[in-house]
Amino acid sequence: MIDTEKGAVAGDAAGSSEKSKEKEKKKRSRVKQLLTDVKKQVEFWFGDVNLHKDRFLRKLIDDSDHGYVDLSVLASFNRMKKLTADTKLIARALKNSSVVEINLEGNKVRRLHPIGEPPNDEECRTVYVELLPKDVTHNWIERVFSKCGNVVYISIPRYRSTGDSKGFAFVEFEKVDQAQKAIEMLNNPPEDAPRKPGIFPKTHSGKPLPMPPENPISSEEEEKKKRKKKKKKSSTSLQNSVNEEKEQPMEAESTGQKRKSEPETSRAQKTPGKEKRDAGRKP
């Protein structure tokens, strides 16, 4: 009886220990994945492809001492906020990076090598994609286009008021032939690809690549402009009507003045009935 109880207790302890180990293993796996994601994001920001386009970060680097950028600035970026706001964890993730380095204090980061010259074939390596859903993400686009080659940059113009996608994006590949392959795939999707717009992205071969505006006008702002224009038009029409009404009394007044200037005999001839009424009144 006692041996049975001891065995049950030992079994429970072993099961509890096993669960604890499994829980700890999952936790380590999550932390490892988080460190990998943080490292990938920071290396992208400081990479040549992004810095040739990212004026804000480029200015921070140029204006700083020895090219260092405070980790707290990176932690304030929206994409980093989704991962972590812990600057110590960011510094830990970048410890063995081949693109950036951390200062001795562990609170700033900079590129290891000077930035190169802008490439001259960027436009040929970029594909314009349309018919995207409003909630499209960078990860979704990267997953779709990775079948064609190495995706190095993705730009998704969004409305400032809502954050929704405008329905199109720019995908830059590492090589020109990869971009051509993507165009062929998009214009000739496989038979098993969903045909509903926004599910499987499409593009047009040979279509010029319009660059996204730096300060895109949101749909809300466009609607305000339309209302303002309509209001201005209505105000102009109302003013014209008022002016017409003002002109009519002036004409009537001028007519009255002309009538006053006419001879009394003439006025009497026009209103004989009035003279008869006046003749019958008592003084």
List, for residues 253-279, the tens digit of each pLDDT value: 444 444 444 444 333 334 344 443 443
The pLDDT value recorded for residue 190 is 59
Task: State the average pLDDT over residues 52-58.
Answer: 92
The pLDDT value recorded for residue 259 is 46
Q: Which of 11-25, 64-78, 195-209 comes out lowest in average pLDDT? A: 195-209
**Is residue 30 pLDDT above 70, yes or no?**
yes
The pLDDT value recorded for residue 253 is 43
Q: CA 62 → CA 58, 115, 159, distances in Å?
A: 6, 11, 29
Model confidence band, residue 90 (pLDDT cutoffs 50, 70, 90): very high
| Domain ranges across the chain | 2-110, 126-219
| 106 CB-side CA count, 13 A | 9
Fold classification of 126-219 is Alpha-Beta Plaits (3.30.70)
Strand-pairing partners, residue 128, are 170
The pLDDT value recorded for residue 209 is 39
The pLDDT value recorded for residue 70 is 95
What does pLDDT average to over the chain?
A: 76
User: CB neighbours of 73 closer than 8 A, spacing ≥ 6?
Assistant: 60
Q: CA 182 → CA 137, 177, 179, distances in Å?
A: 18, 9, 5
**Is residue 282 pLDDT above 90, yes or no?**
no
| Vertex 72 angle, CA 66 and 78, to 5° | 115
Q: Of the CATH numbers 1.10.10.10, 2.60.40.1180, 3.20.20.70, 2.40.128.260, which one belongs to the domain with range 2-110?
A: 1.10.10.10
Model confidence band, residue 214 (pLDDT cutoffs 50, 70, 90): very low
pTM comes to 0.56
User: CB neighbours of 194 closer than 8 A, spacing ≥ 6?
Assistant: 200
Sheet holding 168-173, edge to edge: 126-130, 168-173, 151-155
The two three-digit tokens of residue 204, written as one number: 């047009």
pLDDT tens for 149-184 read 999 999 999 999 998 999 999 999 999 999 999 888
Model confidence band, residue 55 (pLDDT cutoffs 50, 70, 90): very high
Model confidence band, residue 31 (pLDDT cutoffs 50, 70, 90): very high
Q: Which of 20-24, 131-135, 218-222, 232-236 comes out lowest in average pLDDT? A: 218-222
